[in-house]
Structure 1
């Protein structure tokens, strides 16, 4: 291996490590709010609203961050496409980490009155802006460094980041619930995961400051206009269809990890430690399917893998809540673990697929905006809709039908997107996604 090849290989390994560690930390920060919202935030910040009202209020603040994520995608995408991927990712990590730590010292409603939930909303907006700039930039770190035929394989490292972040978030809450009395946990214990974010962010910064700018960005042409204007003018169709294609993945994840946790503990009377243990076990299956589906997308195609996973999600949607409502521990575990496994199949190819849909000069903005708009549709509203549907019908079964309908929409959107595996990123997305992208080994005359 010559010196230049060795340097490229080392840079790719550092980029994969930086994407995995940084994304794990940012998603840890994001997920601990969802867990705290399901377990304690209703009583801490919204007392007096009743069980359903407090839960709806907590989930409403939860949704605020999803609404802020497209703003983060535009802001960080602008600087990422103009100034570079590396520096932008450092700032996004700092914004997320500091916002999360401040939640850990925020007084509750009893001390600050309505100023407390107002401050919580502001910090949640900052979290959303920070995360909105994270995933797209981290995906580009890998996609713009990896060989075309192994882009899915290296993208798996990024997609394991949310899995690791989720395991850390739920693991620390599980330990705290087991170690503390209920009074101590609701009084101060829930703050520990938020404050721990500072140590994790310091580690993430150490890793990210050691990486180099991607070669495709350095070789790109001059940027003369705001990237978001070019995306909205020339690539709006790809953004909207891509958003619809990934919506079911967001909805399945947040129904399984946030709403199901709240419903099982408050509606079905299952201890939170039991549900958290089931989710933590299930996330191991998710990690396996993320790795397998990402690698297979290099051989079988990104779109084909996503279509198969989405069809599986539609099927599982109809089983999730009927299994959960049996309150049988084995069947509840099957419901939650099965969802996590299906979710891994959906997540695996995305780190390679979305960057391949856009040209280098707007890739950060395009991929980030697509990914985070999908979060608004599938992540922000789904726990709220699920809470209302269950309250109206007295069962969560209609929530499964809603999730299946989202899955059918995602399947239709995937039919409209091109296959991109093996595409040359220097040429990708030049037509705004209207033509089929080149595939490695394909006959140009075909």
Structure 2
């Protein structure tokens, strides 16, 4: 059965019909599944600055150990494109749903094994080597997860609710941060002091086994994307080499789209990458209480979740581009205020500035699923969305904590970090201003010609065929 949906120009196109109940299942599955994936991913980042710098890289000395520990956080981002290339290719060739099941199990297995790893004192250099290998597997999985999740949500959505539906898997990211920070804060109470370093940090990693079982149960009953089903029913069955087509036809679009996410990710990874947690609790610095800092990060993740949802909903009414502009302006103020206020050493001020910052982060994040889906033609959309996101994560989030740590160590203060974050935000804003608003464009394969042109504000639209 098909239903009529309108494109950006008011024309109608046909798309397979999905019921309201199915759409709700898809949103629930992509949101919860993505939250589980990012719980695993962010858990490592949080523990990197609290535990791994001592237990896995301790012989390097405190300063170098912290930088190397954050390097392992960033290292996984270098392998996200591999996951994105593989997942994007197979999402365009065999479907979004199968890819999501594979990434879920890969991430869960790697995370659980980290919880079982011996420390440097037990097996020497093999401890950090095995840790890095498992972190790489997390990176491959994370690179493949996001694109398929957001397309499953957006391609099931009614045209006037793409932003709202697409905000579901986006909410999974701050939800993963909230869950990981919350579980770590709970373990800090259950296993305080030395007990946390001895065994308490391991429990959240092993908890991933239960979460993967929950994620599998939820995702197994979800139908494939209606857009992919429509493509697969045709003789051509999509592009034979979607990755090659993407880079041959849309490389400038990939770069600009990646810079949009980089503007958000650089700032977001101050908390999701564990830098704020390490900076605030450093015994040679602010020496704030670990549990209080983890609770502050957890609380700000709730704000991030809320405004991610708000951004998705607002973008359906104001457009993706206008919502991004508002968000980046708010984020710029938050980025400028972050470290000067964190430097006061007051936990309530820390919490307040993180809450304000996450308002901006949410407003530059909730609409991203819909915006990316509306950028690329149907036949290569899986590759376009996944690879653009992966490149953006390298340019933005990958080494942001490492760069911040090096700037603090090199300058003796945080002013350079503030400049770094504000600059990244303005780059994201500039990238958004280059793009036309394509809110509501028809997503089905019947509209490939429209989808292939008219991406940029300046210059003539070209036919990418």
User: Is TM-score (shorter-chain normalized) higher than 0.5?
Assistant: yes
Residues 364, 306 of structure 1: alpha-carbon distance in 2 compared, 3 angstrom cutoff: same
Q: Mapping of 1:161-310 within 5 angstroms?
A: 161-220=172-231, 221-257=236-272, 258-266=274-282, 267-310=285-328
Q: Does 1:345 align with 2:356?
A: no
Residues 242, 7 of structure 1: alpha-carbon distance in 2 compared, 3 angstrom cutoff: closer
SS in 2 for 1:213: coil
How far did residue 432 of structure 1 move?
7.1
Q: Distance in 2 between matches of 1:30 and 1:55?
A: 18
Cα deviation 1:104-147 (Å, max 9, x = unaligned): 11111111211111111111110011111111001011111111
Q: Distance in 1 between matches of 2:324 and 2:447?
A: 19
How far did residue 181 of structure 1 move?
2.8
Task: Give unmatched runs, 5+ long, in structure 2.
Answer: 4-14, 457-465
Residues 417 and 433 in structure 1, CA contact (< 8 A), matched pair in contact too: no
Residues 278 and 333 in structure 1, CA contact (< 8 A), matched pair in contact too: yes
Q: Does 1:78 align with 2:97?
A: no
Cα deviation 1:270-294 (Å, max 9, x = unaligned): 0111111111112222122111111
Residues 418 and 433 in structure 1, CA contact (< 8 A), matched pair in contact too: no
* Corresponding residue number in structure 2 for 1:151: 162
* Corresponding residue number in structure 1 for 2:391: 373
Q: CA RMSD in A?
A: 1.9
Residues 369, 319 of structure 1: alpha-carbon distance in 2 compared, 3 angstrom cutoff: same
Residues 320, 294 of structure 1: alpha-carbon distance in 2 compared, 3 angstrom cutoff: same
Q: Distance in 2 between matches of 1:99 and 1:365?
A: 24
SS in 2 for 1:144: helix
Q: Distance in 2 between matches of 1:418 and 1:428?
A: 17
Q: Distance in 2 between matches of 1:431 and 1:238?
A: 15
How far did residue 225 of structure 1 move?
2.3
Cα deviation 1:318-374 (Å, max 9, x = unaligned): 110000001123322222221122111111111111111111111111101111111
Residues 49, 297 of structure 1: alpha-carbon distance in 2 compared, 3 angstrom cutoff: same
How far did residue 315 of structure 1 move?
2.1
Q: Distance in 2 between matches of 1:212 and 1:404?
A: 42
* Corresponding residue number in structure 2 for 1:441: none
- Normalization by structure 1: what TM-score? 0.94
* Corresponding residue number in structure 1 for 2:115: 104
Q: Distance in 1 between matches of 2:305 and 2:383?
A: 27
Q: Mapping of 1:381-420 within 5 angstroms?
A: 381-420=399-438
* Corresponding residue number in structure 2 for 1:119: 130
* Corresponding residue number in structure 2 for 1:444: none
Q: Does 1:435 align with 2:446?
A: no
SS in 1 for 2:156: coil
Residues 356 and 428 in structure 1, CA contact (< 8 A), matched pair in contact too: no
Residues 239 and 380 in structure 2, CA contact (< 8 A), matched pair in contact too: no
Residues 273, 5 of structure 1: alpha-carbon distance in 2 compared, 3 angstrom cutoff: same
Structure 1 moving runs of 4+ over 6 Å: 2-6
User: Aligned pairs, how many?
Assistant: 436
Q: Distance in 1 between matches of 2:240 and 2:185?
A: 48
Residues 374 and 451 in structure 2, CA contact (< 8 A), matched pair in contact too: no
Bigger CA drift: 365-374 or 333-342? 333-342
Q: Distance in 1 between matches of 2:376 and 2:300?
A: 34
Q: Distance in 1 between matches of 2:246 and 2:450?
A: 12
Cα deviation 1:302-329 (Å, max 9, x = unaligned): 0111121112222221110000001123
Residues 433, 417 of structure 1: alpha-carbon distance in 2 compared, 3 angstrom cutoff: farther
Task: Give unmatched runs, 5+ long, in structure 1.
Answer: 438-446
- Normalization by structure 2: what TM-score? 0.90
Q: Distance in 2 between matches of 1:330 and 1:97?
A: 34
How far did residue 54 of structure 1 move?
0.8
